[in-house]
Structure 1
Amino acid sequence: MEELILRIKALLRRVNRESESAEDKRFIAVGDCLIDLNRRVFIRGDEEIPVSRRMWDLIAYLARNRGRVVEKRELLEKVWYDAYVTEDVIRAYIKELRKILPPNSIETFKGRGYRLK
């Protein structure tokens, strides 16, 4: 049993190390926008777009989960983990995010969540 626990811990360390090194080099393009996850920079065309810390957390989380529906509950836990907010706050941030991303980059799944294309 002790050997199994040691193997699991070693596997978890290896997976964490691999995912950290992969994330350090990630750039995600959405239309003419570039999300630099390493430098925490959002670029549209040739211009860096300043965003708040919370908006950055939302952009980065959606980008890391691109292509899948991210549930509203999950966004509340992962992006607004240290604050009590309602789904109205998520909607407001998504509305602002849509203004800086190319049109139709974010799909809404009514009652569920959002997906970055």
Structure 2
Amino acid sequence: MYKVMIVEDDPKLGGLLESHIRRYGNEGVLVSDFDHVLEKFKEIEPHVVLLDVNLPSFDGYYWCRMIRSVSTCPIIFISARSGTLDQLRALENGADDYITKPFHHDIVIAKIHSQLRRVYGDYASVSEERKVEKDGLTLYPERMELQLGEQTVALTKKETILLEILLGRSPRLVSRETILEKLWDDAFVDDNTLSVNITRVRKRLGELGIEDALETVRGSGYRLNSVWKQ
């Protein structure tokens, strides 16, 4: 059974979508807290997201970007906005499909099943998943996850890129210039921005019980030492 997260502020429509999804053998989870959509996404761990554009506080485009920062889960927009620019904006922000209201519920179900087949089923890629491993610590770049033993933490895109560089070269030093080029493609970034990202990676490592592994080499760069090695 697959899980579909529904982010729709019309409770009647949301309830109908949930009912149809359940009728076709999957689980629909209706979100009602529109201020914490990303937190609910992490809690629910859905296989597909149905996302409205017009939402309280932040619109669907914003939440699509937030979800994309931590996951490649299929996102289907459902919206009364039928303009070409609205649909292009959705796709540019990371959406996989766009359905305009009013719609036939069977079309929504067919779109959901299409994404499920593409990502998890008959049409899913059979290529071996890429991973970077060092002394039992494993990074899965394609799903943006870091694992040590039975523990796993979710990463943002920038955290994933940064860890892939550091873990792949551990215990060698990685220069600040190399990191900046990989993360921001030579765009101007101040030292504070880089420091914030380094701090976030240290926090993710800490969530796995790894402390003092990421070393700052003043004036040169950073080194990931395998202090977690058993």
TM-score by length of 2: 0.36
The match for 1:57 is: 161
The match for 1:79 is: 183
Summarize the Cα distance change of 1:49–1:40 in structure 2 as closer, same or farther, 3 Å threshold: same
Matched residues, number:
93
The match for 1:67 is: 171
TM-score by length of 1: 0.65
CA contact (8 A) 2:167 2:224 kept: yes
The match for 1:113 is: 221
Aligned match for 1:104, one of 212, 220, 224: 212
1:99 and 1:110 map into 2 onto residues whose CA distance is 20
- The amino acid that maps onto 2:185 is Y
CA contact (8 A) 1:108 1:115 kept: yes
Percent identity (aligned): 27
2:154 and 2:171 map into 1 onto residues whose CA distance is 25
- The amino acid that maps onto 1:106 is L
The structure that is helix-richer by fraction is: 1
Higher relative contact order (CA 8 A, sep 6+): 1
- State the SS of the aligned residue for 1:74: helix
RMSD: 2.3
- The amino acid that maps onto 2:160 is W
Largest Rg, 1 or 2: 2
1:110 is displaced (CA, Å) by 0.7
The match for 1:41 is: 145
The CA deviation string for residues 18-62 of structure 1, in whole angstroms up to 9 with x for no partner, is: xxxxxx65441467x432346542124434322111111111111
CA contact (8 A) 2:215 2:223 kept: yes
The match for 2:133 is: 28
